[in-house]
Amino acid sequence: MASSLEPAVVGLGLTSMSLSAGGVPVDLAIEAVAGALADAGLTARDVDGLLVNSSQGVRPDRLGVALARQGGLGDLRLLEHVEIKGATAVAMIQRAVLAIRAGLASTVVCVFADAPLRAGGTSGSTYAHSGGSDGARGLERASGVLGSVPTYALLASRYFAVSGGDPEDLCAVAVSTRAWALGNPDAVVRKPLDAEGYFASRMISTPLRVLDCARPVNGAVALVVSGEATPGPAPRIHVRGMGQAHPMRRRRAPGESWFGGGRAAVDGALAMAGLTRADLDVVELYDPFSVVTLLLLEEYGLVEPGQAGKVVRSGATAPGGDLPVNTGGGQLSGFYLQGMTPLAEAVVQLRGTGGARQVPGASTALVGGIGGRGDHHACLILDLEPSR
Amino acid sequence: MSPNTDATIPAVLAAPDAPDAEDWLVDAALAPLADGSLAPLYAGAAAGELTLPFCATCGLALELEQRACDGCGATDIRWRPVERAGTVHAVTLVHRREPGLVRVTEPYPVVDIELTSGHRLIMTTLTATGSAPAIGRPVTVGFRVVGGVAVPAAVLSTTESSAPSEPSDAATPDSPRATGTAPAPVPSETEVSQ
Ligand SMILES: [Zn+2]
């Protein structure tokens, strides 16, 4: 039986974002799901679909479809562990909307949880020890490429060579994103940041400093997507457009392989929505590293090629600017819960509940999720207005 | 997927001159899996050759984990020695040094190399250096030994001697020997990044 309304995001639940060890993903997920259902005015018995997004890497307690049983849900019509690396959270919303439109489910919960912070070790240490010894990753690790920072540092190095950018551009992203975080109570880093503070921060892998890197947290986010009328007070956030792009950039010489090819995802989503880039009120991007914000602004056609640094340095992406980007502090200063970070913030902004960081009158948002090394792109156009 | 098997080289061989020496950069715990999906590369490296995959049908240079040619669709992959030369495509100086895994006390370079063979390979340098080579700079390729496994490393020719560890018999790109190795590559599910 098809649902009665256009599928929309009707519930949002976040755990507290912890910078210290504690919690396991399944418990964090259950807490976030409960919060999202309460937000929507629903109970577990209203749910007939569950989509699960686990963190990458080899972790014994990663989230899986067992969450349905462990979390006390009833019989389901849709249950999947979705996996497109970091693009998964955004892709889950796409999957939920399509399933509801097809009559395969009516109310679908989408959840991500992670707990990379362990007692006795930093998150950097957790990542440094992940990856294994086989394949290209094993060869890279033997060459000192531990964790993901050196990889994105290589990307940044190449991006600078191609775009003409420099560390001042990275600084501008970190400062702009921090300015947004100041207004977000869920952001884990809310200390004012200026250029002096940025350049005083610890270098991790040139040109990336610690303030260019996302802040891992232990936490979870869940969203409810439903085609039914729900009692919650929040406005329905509609999914007017969606797209994916998986560019097969070959690592071959000569030629670029670190970036490029994601634009089709945004073009497709905008075409589906019948909107243009000028219609976007807020842009929420997956920003595991500051350089990725620069890169995606160009790759997604939001600024002219080679102009991202200049645009960010102008203040356009910061509070009060005309191209608000990562308005909750992103993954850099807000919290790193992979694709859920931009997704949750877009919902907050369109609901108008952003408080001190609210972009006045925001009604249309672009959400961009990436996975791998920018190998996977999934995006959404979220809107207060339905598409039909 | 049937690599040529005219030459059989042990998958794990120590470096010719210093079999038990510790690597300058990382702990032996980071030794790559020599008989895994990149076995031909490590077997070649043990013999002092940079051995990389090509499409056996159309000759296209393939990525390390590629199992079918994107040019012609063939699944027959031929690993063969290539010229050990290229240029720097991207570079970083890694300051974070994970205790227990990284042995040095100063920042170390990681470079992404465009090889003349058409491949791209990420490596560090053959010996310790605190400076990052510029993009576009020519390099040659030698081999470090990590936990008994030889792995490619960049030699910055103008500032760094390659004498002790770089093999003396340079491979020729179309050398008929060592074009394949014993174990067939096994497809693997390897975490690539986040
Ligand atoms: Zn071919």
CA A236, CA A383: separation in Å to the nearest integer? 9
Whole-angstrom Cα distance, residue B114 to residue B134?
13
Q: What is the mean pLDDT of residues A91-111?
A: 98
Q: Establish whether the linkage from the previous residue to A116 is cis, with ω within 30° of 0.
A: no
pLDDT value of residue A120: 78
Cα A354 to Cα A315: distance, rounded to the nearest angstrom: 20
Q: Which of A129-138, A228-237, A278-287, B70-79 has the lowest mean pLDDT?
A: A129-138
Residue type at position A54: S
Q: What is the mean pLDDT of chain A?
A: 95
**Residue A19 and residue A76 in one domain:** yes
Residue A120 touches partner B, C-beta closer than 8 Å: no
Say if A166 is an interface residue toward chain B (CB within 8 Å).
no
Which of A86, A204, A248 is facing B95, going by the closest CB pair? A204
Q: Determine the average pLDDT of the residues in A258-270.
A: 96
A240 touches chain B (CB under 8 A): no
Within this chain, do residues A86 and A192 fall inside the same structural domain, yes or no? no
DSSP A120-136: TB-HHHHHHT-S-SSHH
Residue A40, classed as helix, strand or coil, is: helix
Q: How many CB atoms lie within 10 A of CB B177?
A: 13
- Measured between CA atoms, the residue of chain A closest to residue B136 is A161
Our CA-based measurement puts residue A25 at a distance from the nearest CA of chain B, in whole angstroms, of 17
Strand partners, B108: B94
Output the pLDDT for position B15: 43
Angle CA(A172)–CA(A173)–CA(A174) in degrees, nearest 5? 95
Q: Where does residue A204 fall: left (phi above 0), alpha (psi -120 to 50 degrees), or beta otherwise? A: alpha
* First CA to last CA distance, chain A: 19
Report d(CA A259, CA A378) in Å as an integer. Answer: 15
Rounded Cα gap, residues A326 and A341, in angstroms: 9
Residues A159, A253, single domain; the answer is yes
Helix A290-299 vs helix A167-181: crossing angle, to nearest 10: 100
Chain B residues close to A127, C-beta within 8 Å: 194
- Partners of A208 on chain B (C-beta within 8 Å) are 92
- Inter-chain CB proximity B95 and A202 less than 8 Å: yes
- Please state which of the ranges A60-64, A174-178, A235-239, A317-321 shows the lowest mean pLDDT: A60-64
Q: Is the dihedral of CA A24, A30, A36, A39 positive or negative?
A: negative
Contact A252 B89 (CB under 8 A): no
Angle of helix A149-163 versus helix A290-299 axis, rounded to 10: 50
Instruction: Please tell me which of the candidates B92, B116, B192 has its beta carbon nearest to residue A153.
Output: B92
Q: Does A124 touch chain B (CB under 8 A)?
A: yes
Q: What is the CA radius of gyration of chain A?
A: 20
- Check residue B114 and report its DSSP letter: E
Position A140 in a domain: no
Find, in chain A, the residue whose alpha carbon is nearest to that of B124: A143
Closest chain B residue by Cα to residue A155: B90
Runs of H (alpha helix) within A274-376: 290-299, 308-313, 340-351
Domain boundary among A178, A205, A226: A226
Assess if residue A200 is contained within a domain.
yes
**Is the Cβ of A144 closer than 8 Å to some Cβ of chain B?**
yes
Q: Indicate if A50 and A34 belong to the same structural domain.
A: yes
Same domain, A250 and A287: yes
CA distance A209 to B172: 41
Q: Are B39 and B11 in contact (CB under 8 A)?
A: yes
* Sign of the CA dihedral running A298, A299, A300, A301: positive
Residue A4: exposed, middle, or buried by beta-carbon count in 10 A (0-12, 13-18, 19+)?
exposed
What is the reported pLDDT for B178? Answer: 33
CATH code assigned at A303? 3.40.47.10
Chain A residues whose CB is inside 8 A of the B127 CB are none
State the nearest Cα–Cα gap between B176 and chain A, in angstroms: 24
pLDDT attached to residue A253: 94
Which of A53, A123, A134 is the best mutation test for B, with the most CBs of B within 10 A? A134
Residues of A in contact with B101 (CB under 8 A): 128-129, 146
Q: What's at A36, amino acid-wise?
A: A
Instruction: Report yes or no: B30 at the A interface, CB cutoff 8 Å.
Output: yes
State the pLDDT confidence band at A129, using cuts at 50, 70 and 90: confident
Token pair in block for residue A145: 């490429």
Which of A226, A258, A293 marks a domain boundary?
A226
Distance B44 CA to ligand 1 centre (A): 22
Are the beta carbons of B144 and B25 closer than 8 angstroms? Answer: yes
Give the pLDDT confidence of A8-50 residue by residue, as tens digits.
999 999 999 999 998 999 999 999 999 999 999 999 999 999 9
What are the distances in angstroms from CA A240 to CA A224, A254, A324? 16, 39, 20
**Residue among A57, A128, A250 whose CB faces B101 most closely:** A128
Chain A hits for B61, CB-CB cut-off 8 Å, are 252-253
**All structural domains of chain B with their residue ranges:** 28-156
A158 and A72 in a single domain? The answer is no
Range of the domain at A245: 148-214+237-388
State the 10-residue block means of pLDDT for chain B, 194 residues long: 37 46 95 97 98 98 97 98 98 96 97 98 96 95 98 80 39 35 30 31
Instruction: Let me know whether A59 and A196 are in one domain.
Output: no
* A130 CA: distance to closest CA in chain B (Å): 8
Which residues in chain A touch residue B26, judged by CB atoms under 8 angstroms apart? 142-144
Q: How far is B93 from chain A (nearest CA, A)?
A: 5
Query: Considering CB atoms only, which of B31, B96, B112 is closest to A149?
Result: B96
* Domain boundary pick from A203, A226, A249: A226
**pLDDT number for residue A125:** 81
Q: How far does residue B59's CA lie from ligand 1's centre (Å)?
A: 6
Task: Please give the Cα distance from B128 to A291 (Å, whole number).
Answer: 28
* A356 secondary structure, DSSP code: G
- φ, ψ for residue B146 (rounded to 5)? -115, 115
Query: Do A159 and A110 belong to one domain?
Result: no
The Cα B35–Cα A46 span in angstroms is 51
Amino acid at A382: L
Q: What is the dihedral sign for C-alpha A187, A35, A94, A70?
A: positive
Please tell me which of the candidates B32, B37, B118 has its beta carbon nearest to residue A142. Answer: B32
The pTM score is 0.90
Contact yes or no for B96 and A147 at CB 8 A:
yes
pLDDT band per the 50, 70, 90 thresholds, residue A387 = confident
**Is the predicted pLDDT of residue A55 greater than 80, yes or no?**
yes
Q: How far is A80 from chain B (nearest CA, A)?
A: 20
CA dist B191 → B65, B102, B110, B111, B145 (Å):
12, 21, 19, 20, 23
Of the partner residues A144, A149, A371, the one whose CB lies closest to the CB of residue B102:
A144
Q: Which of B118, B11, B126, B4 is nearest to B63 (CA)?
A: B118
B43 vs A: CB within 8 A? no
Report pLDDT for A4. Answer: 85
**Residues A270-307: b if buried by 16+ CB within 10 A, e if exposed:** bebbebeeeebbbbbbbbbbbbbbbbbbbbbebbeeeb
Residue carrying structure tokens 């056609």: A301
Distance separating alpha carbons of residues B22 and A370, to the nearest angstrom: 38
Cβ–Cβ < 8 Å for A373, B193: yes
Query: Is residue A376 pLDDT above 50, yes or no?
Result: yes
**pLDDT of A337:** 97
Instruction: Tell me the per-residue pLDDT of A196-206, one tens digit each, with 9 for 90 and over.
Output: 999 999 999 99
Contacts of A139 in chain B (CB under 8 A): 32, 38, 41, 64, 122, 151
pLDDT of residue B176: 33
* Whether residues A56 and A156 fall in one domain: no
How distant is the Cα of A176 from the closest Cα of chain B, in angstroms? 24
Q: Quick check: B110 and A143 CB within 8 A?
A: yes
**CB pairs below 8 Å between A and B: how many?**
179
A186 neighbors A339 (Cβ within 8 angstroms): no
For residues A325, A125, A159, B70, the Cα torsion angle rounded to the nearest 10 degrees is -110
Q: Look at residue B179 in the predicted model and tell me its pLDDT.
A: 33
Alpha-carbon distance A45 to A78, whole Å?
14
Residue pair A284/A346 in contact by the 8 Å Cβ criterion:
yes
Secondary structure (H, E, C), A186-207: CCCCCCCCCHHHHHCCCEEECC
